[in-house]
Structure 1
Amino acid sequence: MSRHAALLPTTFARTIEDWLAEDIPSFDYGGYVVGDDEKEATLYCKSEGILAGVPFFNEVFRQTGCTVVWSFEEGAEIIPFDSKVEVAKVHGPARRILMGERLALNIIARCSGIASRARRLRDLADMNKFSGVIAGTRKTTPGFRLIEKYGMEVGGADTHRMDLSTMVMLKDNHIWATGSITNAVAKAKEVSGFSIKIEVECQSEAEAMEAIAAGADIVMLDNHSPERLRAAAHSIKSQCLTSQKQVLIEASGGITEDSAAEYMVPGIDIISFGTMTQGVPHVDFSLKISP
């Protein structure tokens, strides 16, 4: 079993059950065609990437009455030297293998794509000697968040906040609705308790210092150029050192895999990427039943 599988809630099995029901709401005509003869199918990987999504793939086939035997551990880098590489075997009745085929492939292709981008970003950070956190965002697909966040974990990135209940993030709309950063942070502190961090999205160094003075734990410098980011981070950290305040600085907004290295500057503790889940190329997998 993957070491990351221990993170998953038991409720993910119910999600898989719902997705299978969505795919077969009444009759399975193709299943009737192939019948219940015992078959073996091979999972092939046809493009380079990080293998992720194994527990979900296994659960799909557990629910359809099949078994899966893996040739690689989750998190391994798969490189198809000769057009494709065998990754796993699926055993079970033919119609039940095909019952789970498309759902299982959709899950593993996207999860592996996200893990692959996460791994590339983490490797880029290591290459640039950036010791901060490489994180995703909440820009996830509705209904698919657990799988996408899981892919980040397998790839070596931080998942950032999982949902609105995990951390308080005060963005421009929160601030405009309450009148100021100070007001927004004060309102958040009324209900968030000691265990929940408060982060504030800031457009300038002045806004960041207001957020810190109000008691924010993290300030996000949003849509800053690398040069502006470097200067602001240095100034903020210097002022915090003088006042003995502790704060984390996050860089975010339009940062891509191609531009990431420019943002890996001193003073930045976290770089978050909406592109870790948006516009991510999938890893190409196929499942073929042996004759």
Structure 2
Amino acid sequence: MSSSINATTIPLPTTAAHHGSLSDLLPSHWTTQVTTWLDEDAPSFDYGGFVVGSSPRTAHLLCKSPGVLSGIPFFDEVFRQLDCKVQWHYDEGTFLDTSKEKGGKIKVATVTGPTRKLLLGERVALNTLARCSGVATKSKRMLDLVREAGYTGVLAGTRKTTPGFRLVEKYGMLVGGIDGHRHDLSSMIMLKDNHIWAKGSITAAVKAAKSVGGFALKVEVECQTEGEANEAIEAGADVVMLDNFDGEGLKVAARSLKDRWKGKREFLIESSGGLTEANVKGYINNDIDIISTSSVHQGVAHVDFSLKIEHGTEVPAT
């Protein structure tokens, strides 16, 4: 894979920097999701495919807006299932700068295969790559901002992901350098307001969670007040989430909790809700161990990619 003056590679998150590719995280069944996406887009006859036929062709993947390249395994799998080959010219995690003074478009990959199959995979592959790259780009942007503001803790996404597309969005967060947070209801026991109200109290809910989660699962409790946080810590919560506190209130509560329980309990403080690019400096403080935000994956702009078949050129059969 090549590099150039209009692209820079982002270091992997510290948890992954000296290990395998992030694609090694993907479970064995993930390729079936790609099959489902392809089935959704062509549930019956492929009329456009009939028009173009199966002559071998070359197509070029072009990036047309700045962003972090993310989602290569998903793009590759789309075309693998369609008997096409992909050659990448940039590494995943590379920031592609498409500003006009640097050309406006970047040729990111070359795809070869039967014409109709290139077009069968085009939209599915582009949609996935655009969304995943958008999440990675926003994640990197927010991480850069909190680090510039002096924050040393963990920046994480949330579980507020698109149904059926969580794996792609969580993958994009990791490529962007942030923590993916819990992936599902089985990953960590998070007790939210509805759990507490249904069980009757924070103490009772934590006790019940600990009885089945054992030593292997952390218990996190969503708290609306400092008093609720103190009850959760007393009950044995591993993480307390200060939910939707304002900037100053968050700082006061976090400092108070750390002072009160110093040397008595081991716990982490998470804040959630309200972080934006505009309020980073007033929001963050290092008494907070984890900042979680859905702003890195909800409503983010996609990175603009297109796939263009070479005009009048067929690839010789091999």
Length-normalised TM-score, structure 2: 0.89
Q: Decide whether the 8 Å contact of 1:253 with 1:273 is kept in 2.
A: yes
In structure 1, the residue matched to 2:4 is: none
Amino-acid identity (%): 56
The Cα shift of 1:263 comes to 2.1
* Residue of structure 2 equivalent to 1:127: 148
- Is 1:208 aligned with 2:229? yes
Per-residue CA deviation, residues 198-253 of structure 1 (Å, 9 max, x unaligned), is 00011111110100000000000011111111111110001111x52111000101
Pairwise CA distance, 1:259 = 2.2
Q: Deviations over 1:122-179 (max 9, x none)?
A: 1112212211000000000000000000000000010000000000111110011011
Indicate conservation of the 8 Å contact 2:61/2:111, yes or no.
Answer: yes
Q: What secondary structure is seen at the aligned counterpart in 2 of 1:60?
A: helix
> Quick check: 1:52 aligned with 2:70?
yes
1-structure distance, mates of 2:219, 2:227: 18
The residue identity in structure 2 corresponding to 1:17 is T
What does residue 58 of structure 2 align with?
A: 40
Q: Is residue 251 from structure 1 mapped to residue 271 from structure 2 by the alignment?
A: yes
Q: 2:284 aligns with which of 264, 273, 290?
A: 264
Selected match of 2:90 from 72, 82, 85: 72
Unaligned stretches of 5+ residues in structure 1: none
Q: How far apart, in 2, do the equivalents of 1:97 and 1:259 lie?
A: 44
Once the two structures are superposed, residues 239-290 of structure 1 have per-residue CA deviations (whole angstroms, 9 ceiling, x without a partner) of 111x521110001013223223322212000000111111111000000000
2:149/2:280 contact within 8 Å kept: no
1:110 CA displacement: 0.3
Partner in structure 2 of residue 145 of structure 1: 166
Distance in 1 separating the partners of 2:140 and 2:203: 37
- In 2, Cα distance between the equivalents of 1:26 and 1:172? 46
Letter in 2 for 1:184: A
Using the size of structure 1 for normalisation, the TM-score is 0.97
Q: Contact 1:220–1:250 at 8 Å: present in 2 too?
A: yes
Contact in 2 for aligned 1:234/1:266 (Cα 8 Å): no
Instruction: Map residues 1-291 of structure 1 onto 2, 5 A cutoff.
Output: 3-80=21-98, 81-241=102-262, 243-291=263-311
Quick check: 1-10 or 214-223, which moved more? Answer: 1-10
Contact 2:153 2:286 in 1 (8 A): no
Structure richer in helix, relative to its length: 1
Q: CA separation in 2, counterparts of 1:261 and 1:84?
A: 34
Shift of 1:22: 1.4
Bigger mean CA deviation after superposition, 246-255 or 53-62:
246-255
**Size of the alignment, in residue pairs?**
290
Q: Distance in 2 between matches of 1:3 and 1:42?
A: 24
Contact conserved, 1:233 with 1:266, CA < 8 A, in 2?
no
Structure 2 Cα separation of the partners of residues 221 and 199 of structure 1: 11
2:152–2:286 Cα contact (<8 Å) kept: no
How much does 1:3 deviate?
1.4
Q: CA deviation at 1:23?
A: 1.1
Alpha-carbon distance between aligned partners in 1 of 2:292 and 2:143, rounded to the nearest angstrom:
12
Q: Where does residue 7 of structure 2 map in the other structure?
A: none
Tell me which amino acid in the other structure corresponds to 1:124.
L
CA-based RMSD of the aligned residues comes to 1.2
Residue range with higher mean Cα deviation, 9-18 or 101-110: 9-18
Q: Distance in 2 between matches of 1:173 and 1:28?
A: 47
Q: Is the 8 A contact 1:251 1:263 kept in 2?
A: no
In structure 1, the residue corresponding to 2:45 is in which secondary structure? coil
Partners of 2:114 and 2:286 lie apart in 1 by 57
1:181–1:211 contact (8 Å) kept in structure 2: yes
